[in-house]
Amino acid sequence: MIYLDNAATSWPKPPGVAQATSKALTSGLGNPGRTTHHLAMDAALMVQECRENLAQLFAIANPLRICFTSNATEALNLAIKGVLSPGDHAICSSMEHNSVWRPLVALQERGIELTIVEASTSGVVDLSRIEQSIKGNTKLIAVLHASNVNGAILPAAEIGRLARERGIAFLVDAAQTAGSIPIDVKAMNIDLLAFPGHKGLLGPQGTGGLYVSEEVSLRPLKEGGTGSDSMSASQPSYYPDKLESGTLNVPGIAGLNHSVRFLLQKGVAQVVRRETKLTQRLLTGLMEIDGVTVYGPSAELPRAAVVSFNLRNLDPVFVANELERRADIACRPGWHCAALAHQTQGTQDTGTVRLSPGPFTKMTEIEIALGVIAELAAEHQA
Ligand SMILES: Cc1ncc(COP(=O)(O)O)c(C=O)c1O
């Protein structure tokens, strides 16, 4: 199989991730933070080690400000619903995934104002338009770091600087960049960083997390189920316990710990270099095929390893099925949970075919994919 669906979830995982996850089940890891026996203590140490590894990856000073969640969506909901109150104003971009868009729209019914800043058709968000949208009651700016539809990278560091100057909380949806593009929460002035564990961080599904800076106060979405403060009627006020209700996904975190260690050893810069080469070849190859429309920023601009295209007026589902039937290529057709981004780039009626290489994709696999698309294009002339 040629797996080009890493934007949905990464595969394959680095060597040892499956073993780390399965060892947590077979050799036993207890329930961390609840008791003193050695299995529970081993689990607690492993979970703490994973927090420390994530902190190193994102330049987070205090690992205890990282709370584990089951995916990026849960982290984003925690951040958005935890920070906003009726009367507050929030800003996002027109490139957002529905994991940001839907919670913000839902909050409008509870008296929260929302401004959606329009990006260009290629996904570029102009900083000055964000600045112009700031009001006296703006409490949150929430943007994705890179688009899961066309790979466009938003100016997160510049938006962070603006948010810090104005005293506004800054939430970054790093679903398409955590582990594949460097992130430094301090340098980028990020108050809230939501990340999945199962995409660029190369861990198992069912993992993710939210970093909460000391500058921000969040209300929890769930209460109860912490081993700490057992006799108290209230949720602990300290992190990570405040936001980690219920038993953690210990086998998943064991796998994530292993994959983050792998990334730290390899270096995110090396992942960027490799994925950039693959993405550039994909872009230039697609643009040479008669009948292909490629979306997003022009090829020379930096982008995440996400490429969306259409082939004449063929249904993206048909194209994806043909890629699988002819060469066992896995990709994603459709709208990629991002209606706003498709409206922005004008593909709301059709969706697109999305190809997303990962750190283990080979150049020969990109060439095979390009060959199949060229073959399809030749068979379906205008
Ligand atoms: C930009 C973006 N945000 C949020 C999400 C949601 O991530 P998860 O599936 O881990 O909840 C995705 C998933 O594709 C995404 O691409």
Nearest C-alpha to atom 16 of ligand 1 is from which residue? 148
CA distances from 249 to 54, 62, 176, 180, 275 (A): 16, 21, 22, 23, 29
C-alpha 340 – ligand 1 centre gap (Å): 14
266 by Cβ neighbours in 10 Å (0-12 / 13-18 / 19+) ranks as middle
**Is the Cβ–Cβ distance between 93 and 119 less than 8 Å?**
yes
Amino acid 54 reads: L
Nearest C-alpha to atom 7 of ligand 1 is from which residue? 72
Confidence of residue 236 (pLDDT cuts 50, 70, 90): very high
User: The tokens of 143 are what?
Assistant: 């943007």
Nearest C-alpha to atom 8 of ligand 1 is from which residue? 72
C-alpha 69 – ligand 1 centre gap (Å): 13
Q: What is the pTM of this model?
A: 0.97
Q: Is residue 382 over pLDDT 80?
A: no
Amino acid 256 reads: L
For the chain, the helix, strand and coil percentages under 3-state DSSP, each to the nearest 5: 40, 15, 45
C-alpha 125 – ligand 1 centre gap (Å): 19
Confidence of residue 35 (pLDDT cuts 50, 70, 90): confident
Would you state the pLDDT for residue 34?
81
**Is the Cβ–Cβ distance between 112 and 240 less than 8 Å?**
no
CA distances from 275 to 254, 304, 363 (A): 26, 8, 10
For residue 108, how many other CB atoms are within 10 A of its CB? 11
> What would the pLDDT profile of 325-334 be if each residue is shown by its tens digit?
999 999 999 9
- Which residues approach ligand 1 with their CB closer than 6 A? 8, 71-73, 97, 99, 144, 148, 173, 175-176, 196, 208
Q: Is residue 28 over pLDDT 80?
A: no
Would you state the pLDDT for residue 227?
83
C-alpha 40 – ligand 1 centre gap (Å): 31
132 by Cβ neighbours in 10 Å (0-12 / 13-18 / 19+) ranks as exposed
Q: How many CA atoms lie within 13 A of 216 on its CB side?
A: 29
C-alpha 174 – ligand 1 centre gap (Å): 8
Confidence of residue 27 (pLDDT cuts 50, 70, 90): confident
Confidence of residue 59 (pLDDT cuts 50, 70, 90): very high
